[in-house]
Every structure is written in C-alpha cells, then in structure tokens.
Structure 1
Amino acid sequence: MSRKYFIAGNWKMNKTPEEGKKLASEIASVVSKDAAVDVVVCPSFIALDRVSQAIEGSAVKLGAQNFYPKTNGAYTGESSPEMLREVFAKYVILGHSERREYFGESDSFVNEKVRFSLENLLNPILCIGETLEEREANETLEVVKRQLLGGLEGVDTDGLSNVVVAYEPVWAIGTGKTATPEMAQEVHGSIRSLLTEKYGEAAAEKVRILYGGSMKPSNAPELLAQTDIDGGLIGGASLDSKSFCELIDAARTAS
C-alpha cells in the first residue's frame, strides 16, 4: 500500500498573525500545486485567518491546534469547528501531550473531540505517546494502545479514513532527543497492528502515522525510510521556512 507522505507544522504558541502570514507565504511559494506530499500548517487560533489568506490557492492546507467539542455557547476562550471551517481549516491536532499534561485532557475527552471533529468535517490528527517514565518502565506499547483505542472509541471504518495518527514520544518533544528510527518503527508498527486488529488490514494500511518527536532535516531521511512512518508532526523545525521545506523535500525524496 502506497501512502502519501504527510508533513504538518505545529507552531504551538509562536508567531504573531503577521509573522505567521510571512512564514506561511514562504512555505506556500515552495510547495507546488501538484505536491507529492501533503503539507499542513497549524498556527495559533489568532493567526488562522491571516495564514489561511497567505496559503490560498496553494497546495498547503490549514490546520488548527485545538477546538472545543460544541457548536457554540458559553465556553470562554474556546473555538468551535464551525469557526475553524470558516477560515478553511481542514485538520485539527487533538490529544497532543501538552494538552494532556497542562490542561488535563483525558482519553475520553480526546475521544469526544475526535468524534466531534469527524461529525463536523474536520480531519483529526490524533496524538499519542509515552513519557520518559513510562518508557523506562517498559510501558510504551501499553500507553500507546490505551491512548489509540481510547481516542478512536466509536469511530467506524469510514471515520478512520479521515484520521491521521501522530506518535509523539513525550520525552523527545522539544528536548533534542529523538527515538532511533528502529525505536520509532517498533511503535509505529505496533500502532498499525492495533489498527489492523480493530478495523482490518485494508483500512489500517491507508492510515498515515506520523512521527512527532523532534524530527528535523538531519534525521528525517532515516525516519521516513521506515515502513510505517508516513511523515512528521513538526514542532520547532516548522517555525523556520528553510528547515520545514527541507523536511518536505525529504518526504518527497522518500516517496
């Protein structure tokens, strides 16, 4: 099964709207309209509209970093899928380790968001991954299984076709540490096996599984050469157009 590589930039709480517009414009100018790689940028909520305008007409797609699973209402500080769709967002990052750690998001709440995103025509990028303590206790695959199956509870095969999974070893996010390609492949292969058990081989083989632990131009070729690594959810390296475009090139070369 040939899966199209997927490179997504998670800008986190970085870039003003004007800075985001400039960065997005630089990326869009490099990505051809017949891109061999799916490219997504995920700015902060306040920059979404400006970035959306900057990438209009290009092959770069827009993603959001979060939303609240309600259509509207008294939810101070939150945004809805409808608001995201109005600025032409196609993707939304859900279950990121920082949301789980700093904002107490549980597997069940992440699952509620996943199901609501699918109901509201947003493609979820479901993040899963273990902490350093969990890895050292040999709990990696157990944690990944719990978060993956918990996040996909109630999602059918049709819904799965719109889900992107991102494996992010928490100990490798923003630390400069990276799982070896073999370590990453072991977990990605386990994720694919879990999806196969739940949905069947045909559906599981279509799911893109991204690596989200400090992928950068220097290690991307080795990571992307692994059987079940289909791209990256990029943090720090997505804040510089040169490094981000080098990652896109690495995925294009690996295709």
Structure 2
Amino acid sequence: MRKRKKVVIANWKMNYDFYETTSFIRNFLKIVFERKINHNKEIIIAPSFPFLHISNQISQGTTLNIAAQNIHHTDKGSYTGEVSSYMLKSIGIQKVILGHSERREFFLEKNNLLFEKIKIALKYNFNIIFCVGESFLERSKNKQFEIVKSQLEETVFRCTSDEVKSFYIAYEPIWAIGTGKTATFEEVQIMHEFIRSLFFDKYGESVSNRIYILYGGSINDLNAKDFFSQKDVDGGLVGNSSLKLDKFLRIVQS
C-alpha cells in the first residue's frame, strides 16, 4: 500500500487583515525553512479572499500551498459579492474548501449546490478539500454513518475515479467544532475507516488507499499528535488553532 504523507490545512475563516496575513505567512515560511520541518508534509493555508493573491505571491517557490475557502458554482455573471473559480485560477489559486459545516449551516448550502461547485472546480482543475460531518443531534440518534455516506453519495461519488484523485476529504463532526466537546481518537478513527471503506466500495482499493482523509474537529497543538497517529487519519483541517503561529507550528510538527 502506498504510504500517504500528512496534510495540514489552516482554515483562517473570516480572520486576519492584510498585515496580519502577510506577516504570519512570511514568519511561518522563515521558521519552516530554518527548522526544515516540512519533510513529507503538505501544508496549506486558506486566508480570506482579499489576501489570496498576495499570499500566493509570498509562497511562490516554497512548499506552502494557498487555498480559497469557497467558490461560486458558475464561471461569471450577475452574482454580487461572489467569487468564481475562473477568477481564482487567474491569480494562481488551485485549491478550494467546499462543503464546510459553516457554509452548510449559515449559508444553507445543500448537497445539490455543492455538487455544482464541485463540477466548476473540476472544470478549472482545482484540488478540492471537501468537508463532511454530522451534527450532535444526528450522532445522538446514531445516524452519523448514514449522514456522512449520503453527503458523499450526493456529491463526491457522482464523480469519476480520475476526478476523485483531485479530492481531500475532511471529516468534521459539527458537534466538536468550537463547542468544547471533543471526539475521542477512537471515534475519529472509526469514522475515517468507514469513509475509506466507502471509497473502496465505490472506486476500489487503489483510490481508497490514496485518498487523503483529514480530521477537522477542534484539533489543537496538544491533541494533534494523537489524532494524526490514527491509521486512517492523514492530517487535519485546523481552524482556531491555526491562527496562532506557535500553535500551528507545533501542529505541523506533530
């Protein structure tokens, strides 16, 4: 079986201004270079839209990748305030987060819309960080596997095996994001193993072995090593803990 490298993604959400964004990235790259801590890791940072271009410019020639936090589901048009893959491609962005729980909850994004976003992202050859996960109510009813399976079947699993090679899957139990509740290492491994088995059933062993499945529920510098040591956890989608340089560096080194 091919050994998968670890992937760490910083999702900065609606945080940091121009100065904070550029300072963080420059300092991060300086420390990573000096300590040589990016061996066999993929590191991705997703800043806010206004700072994608400058962040990508600063990162040129390094191993750091820059991702967008969202895209619109069409190329262009009368959609005030929206940003398209067509626009992002023109400034060198090649990765995007789709289906984040906050997009689903606050912007009412459903699976049919997310599939349209997947299609347009694939059209422009984006790598897609696709989020799935259940709410506290759904888990309390023991429906977490049913929910995650349906989220994949209605979106990612409508793609071909070649297209799926462009995906990272991020499992984020919604009940463990910013609530103080934490999923156990065993709960996370069980879900990641389940997700990998779904890819095996749909696409076969080759795809299931190579797909990156990341954990996105309240990872911090204290628990990252234990989460990342789980067999089917290939890294993390990190929220608040990625906003502090020292904490994010410790997570990367985990």
How high is the TM-score relative to the length of structure 2?
0.95
Cα deviations across residues 128-164 of structure 1 (Å, max 9, x unaligned)? 0001111111111011101112121431111111100
How high is the TM-score relative to the length of structure 1?
0.95
Q: Which residue in the other structure is 1:14 paired with? A: 15
What is the distance in 1 between the residues matched to 2:187 and 2:240?
21
Q: Which residue in the other structure is 1:91 paired with? A: 95
- Please state whether the residue corresponding to 1:31 is helix, strand or coil: helix
- Please state whether the residue corresponding to 2:182 is helix, strand or coil: coil
Among candidates 121, 127, 132, match of residue 125 of structure 2: 121
Cα deviations across residues 115-138 of structure 1 (Å, max 9, x unaligned)? 221111111100000011111111
Matched, 1:69 2:73: yes
Q: Which residue in the other structure is 1:244 paired with? A: 248
- Please state whether the residue corresponding to 2:152 is helix, strand or coil: helix
Matched, 1:44 2:64: no
Runs (5+) with no aligned partner, structure 1: 251-255
Deviates more, 1:108-117 or 1:98-107: 108-117
What is the distance in 2 between the residues matched to 1:140 and 1:127?
14
Matched, 1:23 2:16: no
Among candidates 222, 225, 247, match of residue 221 of structure 1: 225
The one-letter amino acid paired with 1:29 is K
Aligned residues: 250
Matched, 1:134 2:135: no
What is the distance in 2 between the residues matched to 1:147 and 1:26?
38
* Residue 91 to residue 85, structure 1, CA distance change in 2 (3 Å): same
Give the ranges of 4+ consecutive aligned residues of structure 1 lying more than 4 Å apart after TM superposition: none
The one-letter amino acid paired with 2:192 is H
Q: Which residue in the other structure is 2:164 paired with? A: 160
Q: Which residue in the other structure is 2:183 paired with? A: 179
What is the distance in 1 between the residues matched to 2:13 and 2:248?
15
Q: Percentage identity across aligned positions?
A: 40
What is the distance in 2 between the residues matched to 1:27 and 1:178?
27
What is the distance in 1 between the residues matched to 2:180 and 2:120?
34
What is the distance in 2 between the residues matched to 1:29 and 1:241?
12
